[in-house]
Structure 1
Amino acid sequence: MSERPELDLLPTRAVVELLLDGEQRVVPAVRAQAAAIAGGADLIAARMRAGGRLLFTGAGTSGRIAAAEAAELPGTFGLDRALVAARVAGGAVGTDEHEDDLAGAQADLTALAITAGDVLVAVAASGTTPYTLCIAGAGRSTGAQVIAVVNVPASPLADLADVAVEAVVGDEVLRGSTRLSAGSAQKIALNALTTAAMVRLGRVHGDLMLDVVGANAKLRARSAGIVAEIAGCSPEAAARALASCGSARAAVVHLVLGLPPSVATARAAQHITLRDALRSNS
């Protein structure tokens, strides 16, 4: 912005409109990083296919956004919760002062126990946060691959990463408040990064969350609806198949190929994608 707004002198509606105007640059900034995001997604898929974990770290707003991403993945895509973890500076009650907490970073490194097979996604708007740099540097030294998600070009965090997503949004409407456009860009970039990785891991069929965990009535109904749509059967038949087979992909194999539940479950487990499991010559 060439001329800074006097927010406190504006009517509330004008403040809101300026804030919303600022968000319009977010998607273009993230879209400019599509190649890097795709590269990161392929990296995550390759490491997780080999048994590695997907780890997230950050401090302040960036850390909380990273932690939210980690929390959502197991239920959405049916991942073993042991394969996804996050550490945020200061933990759940972290404050700005924890961004410089290198002792806390060392303690979190011990808890994470990063290995060479893991992928670490490190998020920091400035790319200079001491806590995040410490975690990322240590992860890199173990042989883990690092994906940086930042909002500035040529930062120290991006320099040490295997893949750098640099979603540069420029000055915030509220100067320096990276919870605004920078935070929005981080959330969109992480959503795209992890969802694309899950597609490559066979956790998505068409546009459906094939392995969504039926943790409540709404999600159980959604899972049955997914099975019914793919198998071309009634929701009731889909629900019965789910109960017999224990997973949506096994239920589809059971319904489409007419295999007993135990055989369908074994067959589904042998293939990365449902499409491969359904091929008649498998």
Structure 2
Amino acid sequence: MLAKKQFGNKDKHKTKKSKSQKYDSTERDTLLAQLDIMVSETRNPDTFDLDLVNTEQLLIKINQADAIVPVAIKSCIPQIGKAVDEIVKSFNKGGRLIYIGAGTSGRLGVLDAVECPPTFSVSSEQVIGIIAGGSQAIYKAVEGAEDSAELGKNDLINIDYCENDILVGVAASGRTPYVIGAIDYAKSLGTKTISISCNPSSQLATYCDINICAVVGPEVLTGSTRMKSGTAQKLILNMLSTASMIRTGKIYENLMVDVNASNKKLYVRAIRIVMQATHCDAHTAQVALEQTHYNAKLAILHILTNENVQDIQQKLLDNGGFLRKTLESVKLAKA
């Protein structure tokens, strides 16, 4: 396994490390050599004067650098598409989408995961974000957590990661031991693995089934991969989750019809979505939502078909939760 190949000697030399500084310098030099060839770690020639320019000029430089990100992601769309198709297959088997990462990468995965239940009315278990160091690392860095391949494996074991699940390893560098350890374990179970990185030919990229590598180039501030690299990861994660939800029937036209009305804003949003889908007034939308226990999909079906709620609920199930497909089947039945 890659984790053992790349990082396994670490355990073997623990004793030697405590007695001798020679191992420390060897490990240091190895990591320095890895960083030297990473695009995300090189210096940006456009920002050598970052400490001399005024505030507006500084912000212009950041903005100009950020504009590179969507272009870099555009070239990754074929790989992102393959990843979405695999995620949908996993969902259809009852599997889960798992994001795993350390530091900024881990936090972005957690952020995307926790936004799925209120947005698409899915279980909080369907999309899970795992960060090296546990939940406390979301708020405060846990030093050294990302250096353990074994910890990455154990964190998957702790959530009962299984053959129907799919794993997305998020690491700007493409070399994080914690992520590679998790990928190793996922591959040992025969599951599909996906990497999101910003460095071509990285260790992680050559090891996963699908590699999504947005080469955004050197950061404005050298070493701060929470910037362009982080932005790229955030956009890609949004694409993976949103496209996968769309492909599993969570929308109608471009409306979020599986919205979970869990607060006042979302309650009004559900009314508005029903109004937009059916061209009805607010009162009609609200009544339909009350009759369907605030299920926007059912409310839309009820208004558009004028059918019994229980009947259309079964028809929706029969059509895999796809609203447009259900509407077409009802129209055919009436024809």
TM-score (norm 2): 0.80
| 1:9 aligned onto 2:45 | no
Aligned to 1:173: 220
Q: For residue 10 of structure 1, give the secondary structure of its aligned residue in structure 2.
A: coil
Residue in structure 1 matched with residue 90 of structure 2 by the alignment: 47
Is structure 2 residue 199 aligned with structure 1 residue 199?
no
| Kept after mapping to 2: 8 A contact 1:29/1:169 | yes
Mapped contact 1:245–1:264 kept (Cα < 8 A)? no
Per-residue deviation at 1:102?
Answer: 3.6
CA contact (8 A) 1:115 1:143 kept: no
Matching residue of 1:248: 296
State the match for 2:103 in structure 1.
60
Q: Is the 8 A contact 1:57 1:121 kept in 2?
A: yes
Identity over aligned pairs, percent: 34
Structure (1 or 2) with the larger CA radius of gyration: 2
Q: CA deviation at 1:160?
A: 2.0
Query: Offset of 1:21 from its aligned partner?
Result: 1.5
Partner of 1:229: 276
Q: Distance in 1 between matches of 2:199 and 2:308?
A: 55
- Give the letter aligned to residue 244 of structure 2: A
Matches for 1:1-282 after TM superposition, within 5 Å: 1-2=44-45, 4-94=47-137, 95=141, 96-246=143-293, 247-272=295-320, 273-279=322-328, 280-281=331-332
SS in 1 for 2:332: coil
- Please list every run of 5 or more consecutive structure 1 residues that lacks an aligned counterpart in the other structure: none
* Alignment check: 8 A CA contact 2:171 2:196 kept: yes
Q: Which amino acid aligns with 1:258?
A: N
The amino acid across from 2:129 in the alignment is A
Superimposed CA distance per residue, residues 232-252 of structure 1 (whole angstroms, 9 cap, x where no aligned partner): 221221121112113111111
CA distance in 2, matches of 1:10, 1:34: 36
Partner Cα distance (2:89, 2:263) in 1: 31
Structure 2 unpaired stretches of 5+? 1-43
Query: Secondary structure at 2:119's aligned position in 1?
Result: helix
| Partner Cα separation in structure 1 for residue 210 and residue 149 of structure 2 | 24
C-alpha deviation, 1:197, in angstroms: 1.3
Between 1:68-77 and 1:238-247, the stretch displaced more is: 238-247
Could you tell which deviates more after superposition, 127-136 or 253-262?
253-262
Query: Matched residue of 1:212: which SS?
Result: coil
Residues of 1 paired with 2:153 and 2:83: CA distance? 25
Query: Offset at 1:270?
Result: 2.0
| Cα distance per residue 1:155-196 (max 9 Å; x no partner) | 121222121110011111101110000000111111112211
3-state SS of the aligned residue for 1:79?
Answer: coil
The answer (yes or no) to whether the contact 2:106–2:170 under 8 Å persists in 1 is yes
Conserved in 2, the CA contact under 8 Å of 1:202 and 1:274?
Answer: yes
Contact in 1 for aligned 2:99/2:130 (Cα 8 Å) = yes
TM-fit CA distance, 1:11: 2.0
SS at match of 1:205: coil
The answer as to whether partners of 1:245 and 1:262 remain within 8 angstroms in 2 is no
Give a deviation string over 1:121-167, Cα, whole Å, max 9, x none: 11000110010111112112112211111101111212221211100
CA distance in 2, matches of 1:226, 1:3: 46
CA distance in 2, matches of 1:91, 1:57: 11
Cα displacement (A) at 1:85 = 1.2
Tell me if the contact between 2:168 and 2:193 (Cα under 8 Å) persists in the aligned partners: yes
Distance in 2 (CA, whole Å) between partners of 1:270 and 1:84 is 24
Using the TM superposition, give the Cα deviation of residue 103 of structure 1 relative to its aligned residue in structure 2, in angstroms: 4.6
Dislocated runs of 4+, deviation >4 Å: none
Alpha-carbon distance in structure 2 between the residues aligned to 1:166 and 1:271: 36
Aligned residue pairs: how many? 282
Which moved further from structure 2: 52-61 or 140-149? Answer: 140-149
Partner Cα distance (1:211, 1:24) in 2: 32
Structure 2 CA distance for partners of 1:213 and 1:15, relative to 1, 3 Å? same
